Structure 1
Amino acid sequence: MDRIEFIREAEKKYHDECYENHTLFEPGSWLHKPVKTVIDLIPLLEGKENPRVLDLGSGVGRNSIPIARAIKSRNGKVICVDLLDSALYKLKEYSKEYRVEETISIEKADLGYYEIRPDEYDLIVAVSSLEHVHSEQKFTSVVNQMAAGTKKNGMNCLIVNSSIEEIDLETNKKLEALMEVNIPTEEMMMKLKTIYSGWEELNVFEKALEYEITRDRKPILMKTNAITYVVKKSRGR
């Protein structure tokens, strides 16, 4: 098993257990509520008929379901892309529960190889997902596709981890971060600013985070600088 396969197997175990043991929008995990940065963009979609939204790495729908509920009455569509069967199975069930199954379209794909058609979307969301593509080159390719796939005056919302560290809380030993793409914060920010040159910055900041996760039943401290990057495509670009 190579490095990428090992990382993906560990991430699969972590997410499978989370989706099995925690219910969407119930307290007790990060599934408790949608990301405020994403939800704050919903009013900016008002007035658009047939709005189209792409959620890359949608998981079980903690962001896509609230968006779908908001744009359902305007014949909107949220395309949800994820690789994990457990996530897509739960997403299908939750979309029925919240009565947005006709608004949500589910696609299974590796984000690094998912084709985004040009000028297709009013909003593209990628929350803690792009760092899971195979390589930095794939990361850059996907973000460029996101930019090209956005309509004029459309928006991209990225939340991406950078400068990631993992520490074994039992031994206090620093471990190799199990993340496919781990780019230093300054380099990541510069990369995004280059790709989105000429776009209007709506909400751009970085925040140092620490939280405990479990890998193979061991407590791990994950430290990261989470970059929030929300931009709007300028008219005429």
Structure 2
Amino acid sequence: MGASEFEQAREAEKDYHAKLYEEQDILKPGSWMAEPLPFAMELLEELLADNPSPVVLDLGSGPGRNAIPIARRLQEAGDGRIVGTDLLEAAVDKLQENAAKFGVADQVRAIRADVEQEAFEAEAYDYVLACGCLEHVSSEEALLRVIRKLQDATRPGGIHGLSMNTNLRETALETGEELPPQIELRLSENRARSLLEQAYEGWDVLLRSGHDVKIEEDKYDGPTEFKARNVVFAARKRGMPRP
């Protein structure tokens, strides 16, 4: 993808998500934000079995679809906390608002960050979650660089939980016309899995799965249907967790 195409896709995604976050509330029926991703909560439980107070990093957290349920669980389990990052200022503001609304403001820190540019503190996190985030980097090389940064930011025994949309298709509902998907990194399912296996060599793989995605969107001049194959991958960093 050229620089101009990348910027066009980035702006389309910003506009779509800003409108979505304004119109839709998390954890309420009516959108794909109605509940957290099951695998994200399952991995959290696996981590809590050994560490009741983990530090979590949720990349591309949006208004808190996953971050708020995770924060509520951390509040129940101990004194863990979660950092939610997003490129959109509107998403950061909404996450802070939702943290207060759901009574977990003490557990949640929301910051604006571009995952490609952000520097992460070494061995600062026990659980790194990236759902629908990594397909918004600029290239395959950038994807691998970001993963390496996140691995360095993870403590021994820590877990990464990733989901990426692949095999992307966007269709105009009124005409049936195929449109170029407005997502920055367009990977096939096989290519995404190959890159993840390469990146996590030396880690213990916990989960490999996938499912089909179909969402009606309003990203162009008219309504569209977004279809993808969602790739889910999780791995644990080898080594003994900190006491």
Instruction: Tell me, yes or no, whether TM beats 0.5.
Output: yes
Mapped pair 1:65 → 2:85: no
2:218 pairs, out of 205, 214, 220, with 214
Superposition deviation, residue 118 in structure 1: 2.4
Distance (Å, rounded) in 2 between the aligned partners of 1:192 and 1:216: 31
Q: Is the 8 A contact 1:110 1:133 kept in 2?
A: no
Give yes or no for the alignment of 1:154 onto 2:149: no
Is the Cα–Cα contact under 8 Å of residues 168 and 175 in structure 1 kept in the other structure?
A: yes
- Percent identical among aligned pairs is 31
Q: Distance in 1 between matches of 2:120 and 2:58?
A: 11
- Write out aligned runs for 1:60-209 (5 A): 60-72=63-75, 74-209=78-213
Of the structure 1 ranges 176-185 and 143-152, higher mean CA displacement relative to structure 2 is found in 143-152
Give, in angstroms, the shift of residue 49 of structure 1. 4.8
1:7 aligns with: 9
Kindly state the Cα deviation for residue 38 of structure 1 after the two structures are TM-superposed.
0.4
Query: Gaps spanning 5+ residues in structure 1: where?
Result: none
TM-score, normalized by length of structure 1? 0.93
Alignment of 1:20-59 (within 5 A): 20-46=22-48, 47-59=50-62
1:18 is aligned with what amino acid?
A: L
**8 Å Cα contact 1:163-1:185 kept in structure 2:** yes
Q: CA 1:119 to 1:100, structure 2 compared with 1: closer, same or farther past 3 Å?
A: same
Mapped partners of 1:41, 1:185: distance in 2: 22
Q: Which has the higher contact order (CA 8 A, sep 6+)?
A: 2
- Aligned partner of 1:229 in structure 2 is 233
- Tell me how far 1:217 sits from its aligned partner: 4.7
Letter in 2 for 1:44: E
Tell me the CA shift for residue 50 of structure 1: 3.6
What's the C-alpha RMSD, in Å, of the aligned pairs? 1.8
1:66 maps to a residue whose letter is P
Tell me by how many angstroms 1:35 deviates: 0.7
